Chain A
Amino acid sequence: MADATGERFKLTIPSDTAEGMKAQNRILNSLERLGYTERDLFGMRLALEEALVNAIKHGNGQADDKVVRIACELDDESARVVIRDQGDGFDPGDVPDPTAEENLDRPCGRGIMLMRSFMTEVSYADKGREVTLVKDRTTS
């Protein structure tokens, strides 16, 4: 459903990062229409990329028989995107701090940190199988 100030939609995609990129573009196009700033869009693209890659690769293991469900509620005040995979889940509290001196040269573990930095709110549910990204629109 779309109106002048917002839209809600759901997408179900296979465990394929190219499909994740299409979903990302769909969401970003809507936010651009709703007047989100370049910086908001930058943060949203980055967070969506990290969350979708996590769901597709780490959650579903790129399995053909698993899908990723994406639910979006977008309006001119805030964007809320819920991404759900069909994997075994994980404990987001268990991911080591990538900025600790001893982890600085480890090549992974930065996705969740970037999501938290660029989003207004990031929360996990269902043992890590579901992540909710919330971004309030910056007004200037």
Chain B
Amino acid sequence: MADHRRINIEEIGGVTVARFVDKKILDETNIQHIGDQLFSLVDDDGRKKILLDFENVEYLSSAALGKLITMDKKVKAAGGKLKLCSVRPEIYEVFAITKLNKLFDIREDQERALEAF
């Protein structure tokens, strides 16, 4: 069976750091897998402090934004905290245009994001 893992998970000081593997989060099937993996962190593993690290990400479509919004809702419903970090300027622009920079807590880098939990 093919390896569909699209996110690397690491535990740092009680925070689950999820790092995207793909440079382009565009492909429909990838986005579906990414969503499933993210949701499983909350729904199956019960994790409450989650940091999404965008260091590798060069492209992001509106379908991917949809998954992030659903993830944010799930984490909030579970009483947890979700933060984003290391977002490139072009990707940040996508968040800013759609005003999702108001919905998400976006930090400059991993270190600063971890301090903010």
Interface residues of A (CB under 8 A from B): 17-18, 21, 39, 42, 45-46, 49-50, 53, 57, 98-99, 104-111, 113-114, 117
Contact = CB atoms under 8 A, between A and B. Distances in A.
Contacts of B67: 107
B8 interface: no
Given A46-B59, A53-B61, A114 B98 contact: yes
Contacts of B73: 105
Interface in B25-66: 26-29, 59, 61-63, 65-66
Q: Say what secondary structure dominates the interface of chain B.
A: helix
B94 A104 contact: no
Contacts of A108: 62, 66
Interface string B80-117: 00000000001000100111101100000000000000
Given A39-B90, A53-B28, A105-B69, A117 B99 contact: no
Contacts of A113: 97-98
B20 to A, nearest CB: 17
Contacts of B65: 107, 110
9 contacts: A21-B26, A42-B90, A46-B59, A50-B61, A50-B62, A53-B61, A104-B99, A105-B72, A110-B62
Contacts, number: 59
B26 A49 contact: yes
Given A49-B26, A105-B72, A99 B98 contact: yes
Interface of B: 26-29, 59, 61-63, 65-67, 69-70, 72-73, 90, 94, 97-100, 102-103
A104 B100 contact: yes
A57 B99 CA distance: 25
A107 B97 contact: no
B26 A117 contact: no
Contacts of A17: 27-29
A45 B61 CA distance: 9
A57 B59 CA distance: 20
Contacts of A99: 98-99
B63 A53 contact: yes
Contacts of B27: 17-18, 21
